[in-house]
Structure formats: C-alpha cells, structure tokens
C-alpha cells in the first residue's frame, strides 16, 4: 500500500510497552485493522498477528523482538513500535523508546510549570510557540496541588489539580499555544488520577466518597473509575 506524503508536524510515533501478556500486540492489531492498514485482524493466540512475524514468536505466541507498523488517522501518520514484555528483552524496549520522536514531560509543583526533556534528560523545545520553548508556565493555576498529568496522542496536555478549598479542576493545554492560559477548563472534577485514551476520552479514578441512596455512607467504599468527555478546545 502506497502512503501519501505527510508533513513532519503530522507525524507521530507511539511505543507500546508493558508486562508480558498485557495485550500490547493485540492493541496494535486492532489499531492497524480499524485504520485499514491491514485487511485481516490477526491474533496472537493463533500465531497470525502481523507484528509477531518471526517463527519463534508465532510458536511461543509472544513477542520476542521489537516490531514497527504504520497507519493513518485523519491527517496524522502514526508509527507504532511494539515491544516485548519479558525482562529478558529489555534492550528491545530501550531501542523502541530511542526510535520514538517523543518527549518526557515533567509537571513541576515548585516551579509551577511543565518542562520537556528528551530520553537523555536534556531539555527539548516541545512548546514551540512559548518564549521559552522548553517549558510551559501554568500561570492560571498558581497555589494549587497538582495531582496528575496525561497527554493524548496529538499532544494535548490534561492537568488535574486541587486548590486550598479542595476544589478540583481539569485544564487542557496545547503544546502549540502561544499563551499560558488553558484552552479548556472544567471545575469540580473530583478525581485523584486520570488517563486519556486514543479517542480523547478521559478516565478518572474517583476522589469523592460515593454515597448510597438516602445520602448515607456505606460501611466500606471501593475506588471507582468514571468516564469524562472534555469540552472541545476553542482557539
């Protein structure tokens, strides 16, 4: 299959990493199939996964080496780097991260900013429209406690914080914005942690105590996860 030309701003590399048997290759197969990059949905258990192409991998039904595949979504070209999960093959995982064109983002409580580093710990100009492109100042949320940071696949940053009055807020930033104000803010997002999936859906580990009918508090509580959809960003 011939791919059309894509400018560098619309290229993305994603490393799939995690423990053995966690479903990394299965996830890659689903993404490739749903994007139309492959015509057949392969399965690890059947030895038909496109990224487990070595005979030994098909025999053992597990990834033993790094594998790469590419698909297109909207205007983006995304390269998947599938890595093995066993510690014996950790060198393959390191190579996968070295190949990906990403950055390590650090949410700094003391400096009230997000700073970007490469895999060697060197600052990188991730925030291209800022006067200091190596970091993004979070001027809108001074004097808060930062709880979590998540990044979706095109680069939007989701920052969860809590102020002195226990008011939680979720702010969304763009790595390409010129100002420091969030492009989207939602108050009352009572969560302790969050994760963002490929479709920009946010999953929250609930922070508030859930009550039973009648406003009573149950004898024991269990953590729960909520699905949250953000307000579309506006510029």
* DSSP calls for 155-183: S-EEEEEE-TT--EEEEEE-TT-SSSS-S
Q: Where in the chain is the domain with CATH 3.40.50.300?
A: 8-99
Q: How confident is the model at residue 145 (pLDDT cuts 50, 70, 90)?
A: very high
Strands 76-82 and 11-16 come out as parallel
Q: Name the residue among 186, 171, 173 with its Cα closest to residue 135.
A: 173
User: What local confidence, expressed as pLDDT, does residue 234 receive?
Assistant: 53
- Give the integer Cα–Cα distance in Å for 30 and 167: 39
What strands lie across the sheet with 145-151, from one edge to the other? Answer: 145-151, 157-162, 168-173, 184-187
Confidence (pLDDT) at 108: 85
Q: Pick from 97, 77, 99: which is nearest to 12 by CA?
A: 77
Using CA of residue 21, residue 36, residue 80, residue 68, what is the dihedral sign? Answer: positive
State the average pLDDT over residues 51-67. 82
Task: Identify the helix (H) or strand (E) that includes residue 31.
Answer: helix 24-34
Whole-angstrom CA distances from 113 to 2, 134, 136, 181, 210 are 42, 10, 5, 12, 32
Convert the pLDDT of each residue in 174-210 to its tens digit.
Answer: 999 999 999 999 898 888 888 887 777 888 887 556 6
Q: What would you report as the CA-atom Rg of the chain, rounded to the nearest whole angstrom?
A: 20
* Greatest Cα-to-Cα distance within the chain, rounded to the nearest angstrom: 61
CATH class of the domain at 8-99 = alpha beta
**pLDDT recorded at residue 23:** 79
What does the pLDDT read at residue 181? 94
Ranking 27-41, 133-147, 196-210, 215-229 by mean pLDDT, the lowest is 215-229
pLDDT of residue 208: 58
- pTM of full prediction above 0.95: no
């Amino acid at each position: 299959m011939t791919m059309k030309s894509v400018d560098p701003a619309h290229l993305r590399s994603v490393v799939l990493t995690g423990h053995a048997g966690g479903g990394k290759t299965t996830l890659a197969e689903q993404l490739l199939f749903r994007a139309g990059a492959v015509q057949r949905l392969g399965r690890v258990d059947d030895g038909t996964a496109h990224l487990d192409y070595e005979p030994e991998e098909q025999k053992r039904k597990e990834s033993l080496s790094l594998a790469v595949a590419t698909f297109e979504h909207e205007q983006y070209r995304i390269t998947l780097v599938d890595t093995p999960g066993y510690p014996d093959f950790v060198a393959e995982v390191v190579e996968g991260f070295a190949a990906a064109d990403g950055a390590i983002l650090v949410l700094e409580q003391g400096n009230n900013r997000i700073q970007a580093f490469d895999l060697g710990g060197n600052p990188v100009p991730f925030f291209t429209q800022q006067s200091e492109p190596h970091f993004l100042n979070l001027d809108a949320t001074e004097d808060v406690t930062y709880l979590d940071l998540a990044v979706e696949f095109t680069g939007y940053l989701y920052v969860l914080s809590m102020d002195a009055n226990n008011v939680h807020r979720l702010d969304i930033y763009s790595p390409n914005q010129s100002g420091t104000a969030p492009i989207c803010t939602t108050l009352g997002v009572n969560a302790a942690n969050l994760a963002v999936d490929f479709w920009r859906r946010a999953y929250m580990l609930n922070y508030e105590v859930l009550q039973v009918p009648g406003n009573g508090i149950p004898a024991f509580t269990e953590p729960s996860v909520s699905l949250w959809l953000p307000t579309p960003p506006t510029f």
